[in-house]
Amino acid sequence: MEFRPRLRLIGKISTVSSTDQKPIYGSAPSTQTTPRAAKVTVPSIRNRKGTDKKVLCLTAYDYPSARLVDEAGFDLILVGDSMANVVLGHASTLKISLEQIISATRAVKRGADRPLIVADMPYGTYHISAEDTIRNGLRLVREGGAQAVKIEGGVARAKTVKALVEADIPVLGHIGLLPQSTNTRGGYRISGRTVESARALLEDALAIQDAGAFAVVLEGVPEAVATRISERLEIPTIGIGAGDGCDGQILVFHDALGLSFGPAPRFVKRYANLADMARKALSELANDMGTGCFPTSENTYPTHEELPDNWDQ
Ligand code: KIV
């Protein structure tokens, strides 16, 4: 986690007491002094292959979600382009820009210390040329603080993966259901349901591995196919809607916590219903504000001396 001064001085106010030295909104960034677990790296994820330690991954898009994901012990945080859907309310992931992912990655970096931070390369940022792809990948690393990037596609993207890896930008591959290919494929399609399609998927996986990816996401793939691909590969597979035969799993933060709207995809398991909790809490707050039950004297600041009646004259 980056070092952050705990007090942002505004103007010339420099005589604050120590009790005032915390951010005015929310809580202070961690000042934890206990020893921290070793940071997860690209090689340490790669070396999980063949062990029985699953690679635990979740998305995050901001400081609080990153802190919570780190505290829960996840190994890898993906700043996914799913942010377009679950944070920005777009119908597809095609809408997100490189700048938006860079900005989100910076916030995630401030919140997470141990997990590996992987940033999604948005639609259009790795489709033009190797030079443009590398330039965009470097921005995610240098400006965002990502330690690796993710791109969608198999055989067709192998050269792109290779170019990034040769530029010292580690790549997490992503094959199977490809949200960025929704227009080409005519929607969100499960791959590998026929022998021909399962073989094509294996070819995709091998091509991405040969191009130098350190791991590959398998999205929306029948379990039997994902399990076999996982056995064939030398790099870890991270499943989403691909069964438990993969070397790791990933979900979208908002889906796992019940913070997304509308029906969840079949592969999602909700571990909380934060939207319902927030609805209840917010309607209580609105009621308290409206009825004068909030704020109370506990939520206001006392003066340091008694004010005479005519203090304002
Ligand atoms: O953007 C994203 O969240 C993803 C995961 C679903 C793998 O690509």
- Collapse the DSSP code of 172 into the 3-class scheme (helix H, G, I; strand E, B; otherwise coil) and give the result: strand
CA 123, 124, 129, 135 torsion: positive or negative? negative
Whether the predicted pLDDT of 196 surpasses 50: yes
- In the residue annotation, 219 being an active-site residue is answered as yes
Distance CA 58, CA 171 (A): 17
Question: Does residue 7 have a pLDDT over 60?
Answer: no
Predicted local distance difference test score (pLDDT) of residue 1 = 47
Residues contacting residue 182 through CB under 8 Å, at least 6 positions apart:
92, 94, 188
Rounded Cα distance between 95 and 122, Å, is: 8
Task: State yes or no: pLDDT of 25 exceeds 90.
Answer: no
Distance CA 31, CA 161 (A): 38
The pLDDT tens digits of the residues spanning 56-83 come to 999 999 999 999 999 999 999 999 999 9
CA distances from 103 to 26, 41, 80 (A): 20, 22, 12
Please state whether the predicted TM-score (pTM) of the whole model is above 0.85: yes
Q: Does residue 172 have its Cβ closer than 6 Å to ligand 1?
A: no
Of ligand 1's atoms, which has the minimum distance to the CA of residue 81? Answer: 1
**Average pLDDT of the chain?**
91
Is residue 255 in contact with ligand 1, taking CB distance under 6 Å? no
pLDDT at 257 over 90: yes
Q: pLDDT, tens digit, for every residue of 76-104?
A: 999 999 999 999 999 999 999 999 999 99
Residue whose token pair is 């990933």: 250
**Band of the pLDDT at 21, cuts 50, 70, 90?**
low
Neighbours of 223 (CB within 10 A): 15
